[in-house]
């Protein structure tokens, strides 16, 4: 858990360091990224995630997201907002960032596998991104779609989540 927190803090610091525009920077080469990451903080109505990604044009990325939502199990479970930030490095080592906000009720969280008998649970999380910006662009849009897996085990008759992982994609129109 401490390693995951250190990774998350390092990700946030890297994203913050890239938030100031560079005169030589341009929007990231890739507009589509596959992403993978882990949940490092949560409440009943919000989850925070961080991880890495790879762009279709060869960019590499570190990302962080906070997804605000209705309580899981609500029908439907709407995404109510939040933020997304990504630091990117192009194949030529040019650094940039992408940031945006999750649209209020622009997406949902759906149960893919409820996890009967304390097996792993899976949720589909999708939403549109608005106010997407890079160091040289603003007013863009995007989409975020991941599968969230809660890894669980039974301990003294109680079902305990010991890890949560996301994998999927994010795409942008700069």
C-alpha 57/C-alpha 55 separation (Å) is 5
pLDDT by residue (tens digit) across 133-164?
A: 999 999 999 999 999 999 999 999 999 999 99
Judged by average pLDDT, the poorest of 5-14, 74-83, 109-118, 154-163 is 5-14
Q: Over 60: is that where the pLDDT of 14 sits?
A: no
At residue 20, φ and ψ (nearest 5 deg) are -80, 125
Give 13's pLDDT tier (boundaries 50, 70, 90): very low
Burial of 159 (0-12, 13-18, 19+ CB in 10 A): middle
In terms of DSSP bridges, do strands 121-133 and 108-113 run parallel, antiparallel, or are they unpaired?
A: antiparallel
Non-local (6+) Cβ contacts of 28 within 8 A are: 55, 59, 61, 88, 90, 96, 98, 134, 172, 174
pLDDT at 21 over 90: no
CB atoms inside a 10 Å sphere around CB 59: 22
Whole-number Å distance between alpha carbons of 173 and 161: 36
Tokens found for residue 116: 């009967």
Provide the β-strand partners of residue 33: 55, 170
């Amino acid at each position: 858990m401490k390693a995951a927190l250190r990774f998350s803090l390092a990700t946030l610091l890297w994203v913050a360091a890239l938030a100031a525009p560079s005169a030589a920077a341009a929007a990231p080469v890739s507009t589509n990224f596959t992403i993978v990451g882990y949940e490092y903080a949560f409440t009943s109505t919000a989850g925070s995630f961080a991880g890495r990604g790879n762009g279709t044009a060869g960019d590499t990325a570190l990302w962080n997201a906070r997804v605000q939502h209705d309580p899981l199990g609500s029908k439907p479970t709407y995404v109510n907002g939040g933020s997304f930030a990504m630091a990117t490095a192009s194949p030529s080592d040019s650094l940039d960032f992408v940031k945006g906000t999750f649209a209020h009720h622009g997406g949902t969280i759906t149960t893919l596998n409820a996890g009967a008998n304390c097996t792993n649970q899976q949720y589909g999380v999708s939403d549109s991104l608005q106010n997407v910006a890079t160091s040289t662009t603003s007013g863009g849009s995007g989409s975020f779609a991941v599968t969230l897996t809660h890894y669980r085990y039974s301990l003294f008759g109680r079902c305990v989540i010991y890890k949560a992982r996301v994998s999927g994609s994010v795409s942008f129109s700069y």
